[in-house]
Structure 1
Amino acid sequence: MTSQSDSNIARGITLVCIGVFAISINDMLIKTLSGGYPLHQIVFTRTAIGIILSFVMLHLEGGLSLLRTNRPGLHILRGLTLVAANMTFFASLAVLPLGLTTALFFVGPLFITLFSFLFLGEKVGPLRLGAIVFGFMGVVVMQEPWGEGSVYGPPWLFALPVIAASLYAAMAVMTRALGVKSTAAALTIYNQLMFLVVSTLFFLVVGQGQADPGPDAPSLHFLLRAWTWPTDQDWPLFILTGVCNGIIAYCITAAYRMAPSASIAPFEYIGLPLAIFLGWLFFAEWPTPAIWAGCAMILGAGLFVFLRERQKGKVIVPKRTGSHTR
């Protein structure tokens, strides 16, 4: 007979896989739109569409009363962390290949396992900690420090997706801390409201392009250029990003709410081959040998962490106190 814990893990894995597929499509769409629209406009539009789907899910889960919380500060912090993670990652998409950016971001599950050990009390042994170090070494390999450096740019560009990954991991750990008392739809709506607030503030401050440094600084240009009304050809892409946003926000939040993060996080790595394929298909991008080697190190580290957990034959459960479960 399947235990409730095993059932929750299976559902969490399924939700993560659906969410990661939507993430891959979303990233491809944002990279496509990055040549003509500012990041905060894309974020505002996709969130405005996605939040409609989230309110539908909230209604199915029990209604507006589920938005009540006695920890608004933690919800705001969690939302701002996710906004910062997304903004940093999307800014890197404007200057780095899709597969490379995703590969660097996929140190996120390693951060999640590390943060779960440090902050939630989940047991992570020395072998898994060693695998985490090995995975981070893959980031260094991608920069090709033995030569003149990567053909894709200076090391600080590589730092953008890694910073995004660390912020995303912090958000995921906070999801576990909040998840016992908050539904997936409620957590999703809190996040999306923060996206709307931040993107609206960007529009009010720099929406006319007054701080745009120009195309010579592509990441900042993507972030700070003036708003432009979408063309008829681009509206379907904006709408699809909104649909993906709703799917991503609900599925990932629900997965980390119902299952231990160290058990489901490695399944996010299916996004790595998806990103490489989409980068090749839509942008004619193909990884260098160093990128392939770094990908293998990061992927191998993540899979080892997961297989080690399966080998131990038990579910990692955080130490819960009153402060962690509310």
Structure 2
Amino acid sequence: MASPDRTLAAAGAILIYAMVIGYTDNYVRVIAAEGGLWQFHASRSAMALALLWLLAGPLGLRLRPANPRAVLARSAIHGLAMLIYFGALAFLPVAQVAAGLFTAPIFVLLISRFAYGHTIGPVRVAAVAVGFLGVVMVLGPEAISGASAAALLPVLAGLMYAMGNIATREWCAGESAEVLLAGFFATLGVLGLIGLSVLAVVPVAVPEGAAGFVQRGFVWPSATFLFWTFVQAAGSLFGVGMMIRAYQMAAASRVSVFEYIILPASAFWGWLIWGELLTLQASLGMVLIALAGGMIALRSRQSPTAARQ
């Protein structure tokens, strides 16, 4: 049985997660300039799992799952979501792929209501709608253009990501965050090795630089690749750990709205690191994203009846 919601604590955990992931993800372009997606996943997972193992003793971490089948199922769902998401980047615009993944809060609401019978009030529904409108404004009109069968792939990733987030609380509430972290990185590591093996047997043409990120097989890693992959591993280990704790502390239909903050966080680091500026439309979209999160956070401070809305 799930524990009582701690919505504000979950919001804080998601904010930390967004700031850490927003920073590390801004350096994926550096990794992509010379390495490939599959080697990145395999290398990052190996580093993250090694760090987790080294920290287990000093921090007293529990790495043995209470329910291995549930952990495996959740890890597989999340891993496949990321595989579809990054795979779609090979032939769809980044904005369109990102917009598809950010349909996840909508699916969280639907699954929570119709699969688990959770009460979903009008405030939560409105927050999801406001947040998604903000996401579309940030990503621009290209995010919703070019509808095709292939464009359904990012939406499928969003559906699977939503299922994995719900599974965190519904299936794995009794698991430690470190167990779910280990499962997540192990799955992505296996998928990375599979991708490298396939590309070794069936090589494909690889464009130069970041354009060849998805199609590129194994290359001898440089010091730059190894350094930023390690930064990714350490940052993801901490950031994803905070995200997992958030979904363990509060209902997925609340926490998923807070995840919209990832876009403003990434934009902030993009401005600070690369000097990238936002349009007025994107800035207004971020205001809507912040408003969506505020609607959920403020509602949670009211009476128990209101907090269910």
Post-superposition CA distance 1:246-277 (Å, at most 9, x none): 11232222221233334444433432222112
Post-superposition CA distance 1:105-144 (Å, at most 9, x none): 5454444344333333332113432443454455666676
For the 8 Å contact 2:8–2:300, the answer to whether it is kept is: no
- Aligned partner (choices 188, 196, 208) of residue 195 of structure 1: 188
Question: Where does 1:1-326 land on structure 2 (aligned, <5 Å)?
Answer: 5=4, 8-56=6-54, 58-59=56-57, 60-61=59-60, 63-64=62-63, 66-69=64-67, 72=69, 74-90=70-86, 105-138=101-134, 150=142, 154=146, 162-207=155-200, 210-212=203-205, 214=207, 218=211, 221-313=212-304
Structure 1 range deviating more: 15-24 or 86-95: 86-95
Change in Cα spacing, 1:227 to 1:271, as seen in structure 2 (3 Å) is: same
Offset of residue 23 of structure 1: 1.3
RMSD of aligned C-alpha atoms? 3.8
Q: How far apart in 2 are the matches of 1:190 and 1:162? A: 24
Change in Cα spacing, 1:134 to 1:5, as seen in structure 2 (3 Å) is: closer
For the 8 Å contact 1:260–1:316, the answer to whether it is kept is: no
Q: Helix, strand or coil: the match of 1:45? A: helix
Change in Cα spacing, 1:303 to 1:296, as seen in structure 2 (3 Å) is: same
Identity of aligned residues (%): 24
One-letter amino acid of the structure 1 residue matched with residue 167 of structure 2: M
For the 8 Å contact 1:61–1:185, the answer to whether it is kept is: no
Offset of residue 229 of structure 1: 1.8
For the 8 Å contact 2:7–2:300, the answer to whether it is kept is: no
Q: How far apart in 2 are the matches of 1:267 and 1:208? A: 42
For the 8 Å contact 2:32–2:213, the answer to whether it is kept is: yes
5+ residue gaps, structure 1: 318-326
Q: How far apart in 1 are the matches of 2:290 and 2:100? A: 11
For the 8 Å contact 1:266–1:303, the answer to whether it is kept is: no
For the 8 Å contact 1:207–1:225, the answer to whether it is kept is: no
For the 8 Å contact 1:89–1:161, the answer to whether it is kept is: yes
Q: How far apart in 2 are the matches of 1:209 and 1:294? A: 43
For the 8 Å contact 2:102–2:132, the answer to whether it is kept is: no
For the 8 Å contact 1:131–1:305, the answer to whether it is kept is: yes
TM-score when normalising by structure 2: 0.78
Q: How far apart in 2 are the matches of 1:271 and 1:301? A: 13
For the 8 Å contact 2:62–2:178, the answer to whether it is kept is: no
Structure 1 range deviating more: 12-21 or 134-143: 134-143
TM-score when normalising by structure 1: 0.74
Q: Helix, strand or coil: the match of 2:224? A: coil
Q: How far apart in 2 are the matches of 1:32 and 1:217? A: 8
Q: How far apart in 2 are the matches of 1:127 and 1:267? A: 14
Change in Cα spacing, 1:216 to 1:118, as seen in structure 2 (3 Å) is: farther
For the 8 Å contact 2:135–2:285, the answer to whether it is kept is: yes
For the 8 Å contact 1:109–1:302, the answer to whether it is kept is: no
Offset of residue 213 of structure 1: 5.7
For the 8 Å contact 1:107–1:298, the answer to whether it is kept is: no
Number of aligned residues? 303
Post-superposition CA distance 1:153-182 (Å, at most 9, x none): 845698665544433221110001123332
Change in Cα spacing, 1:223 to 1:209, as seen in structure 2 (3 Å) is: farther
One-letter amino acid of the structure 2 residue matched with residue 26 of structure 1: T
5+ residue gaps, structure 2: none
Post-superposition CA distance 1:27-66 (Å, at most 9, x none): 11223212221111111111111112333565545645x2
One-letter amino acid of the structure 1 residue matched with residue 165 of structure 2: A
